[in-house]
Amino acid sequence: MTMTVSQQIIMIAVVVLGTMATRFLPFLIFPPGRPTPEYVKYLGRVLPAAAIGLLVVYSLKDVNVLAGSRGLPELVAVAAVVWLHLWKKNMFLSIAAGTVLYMILIRL
Amino acid sequence: MNETSLDARREKGEMNDHAATGAGAAFRSAFPVTVPILAGFMFLGIAYGVFMNVSGFGAGWTFLMSLLIFAGSMEFVAVGLLLGAFNPLGALLLTLMVNARHLFYGLSMLEKYKGTGWKKPYLIFGMCDESFSINYAAKIPEGIDRGWYMFFVTLLNHAYWVAGATIGGLLGSFVAFDLKGLEFVMTALFVVIFMEQWMKQKVHDSALLGIGISVLSLIVFGADKFIVPAMIAILAVLTLTRKGMERKTAAAGEGGERA
């Protein structure tokens, strides 16, 4: 290892600081006591849907559609989750069944 | 519209008189929602702990890092940083880039985390992908204190992650059981939350935009670099189409959804 322990602690502190900056910044810039600008309120209304969409893509970002199983297990399992959730609307069932199906598919 | 004084009072915790009595009930209704995270974080946490172990870091380091950073993917990245050269500025920039998506979560939760008193700093500290998406989409039952509910969602997720990571760190390479694929539980969770949002909203432009731009950015910039360009593009499109979007959501009667 090239770093000393204190250097490693500094590196970890920096990562903590950076992570916390991304989480606290909006709350520090727009404190509850002062009126939030209309533009930011608008973003607060429309951003969540886009952010969760981004999150779906983010959780599938390492799927390679050009090699290996070509993302077929992911496609089938996501489709199963969507279908089950439309049908039963039971969050836990959709997640559990989709995950078990995925674990089976990647072993075939 | 005199919300400000009310919020100020809530901020000081003056409206939390019944909070202590509601904690137990909030815990009981929050726990079931976090069960998928229990499965996912145990798996990913153990994987992270094992990775730390084989990279030469003991369980103590793993425990501290999982406790203090609490951002799954960044902690995997941090292992690489610790094994490389001492470069705090580079580490800071990389962290800001990997975690930039939290800025969106913060903007989305400005209203929801209002009035949670002393719990608010912890709610923000623990706002990982999973805590954000669950707390954002939560259908908190009538009579349940939402501050305590969101607090327990965050705390439980945090505890699962630290526990999984520490177990992995202690077991190290002895872990042999085959749980490959269990990480899909996170994808399934995000898909379900996406659908719940979809069914609740009458206007789907923003949801479609989030998926479409992210996929496009992923194709253009690749898995390691797509998030920041995707965020910038999403912000740009939402800003440029604001007038039309406001009109559409107002017409669909969603304006006061989160009042």
Residue type, B92: L
Residue B121 token pair: 């700093």
> Which of B92, B102, B190 is opposite residue A59, by nearest beta carbon?
B190
DSSP state of B90: H
Give B179-225 pLDDT, tens digit per residue: 678 778 888 988 998 998 898 888 899 999 999 999 999 999 998 88
Token pair recorded at residue B42: 């145990």
What pLDDT shows up at residue B223? 86
Q: pLDDT tens for residues A11-62? A: 999 999 999 999 999 999 999 888 888 898 898 888 888 988 998 998 898 8
Neighbouring CB atoms inside 10 A of B24's CB total: 10
Contact B190 A56 (CB under 8 A): yes
Element containing residue B50 per DSSP (H, E): helix B19-54
Chain-chain contact of A58 with B101 (C-beta, under 8 angstroms) = yes
Helix (H, G, I), strand (E, B) or coil at A21: helix
Instruction: Give ipTM to 2 decimals.
Output: 0.88
**Tokens 């598919």 sit at which residue?**
A105
Q: Determine what percent of chain B is predicted with pLDDT higher than 90.
A: 46
The C-alpha atoms of residue B160 and residue B185 are separated, in whole angstroms, by 14
Q: Considering only alpha carbons, which residue of chain B is nearest residue A60?
A: B187
Count chain A–chain B contacts defined by CB atoms under 8 A. 260
Cβ-based neighbours of B168, under 8 Å, separated by 6 or more: B45, B46, B47, B48, B49, B50, B51, B52, B53, B62, B175
Q: What does the pLDDT read at residue B176?
A: 60
Spans of all domains in chain A: 1-59, 63-108
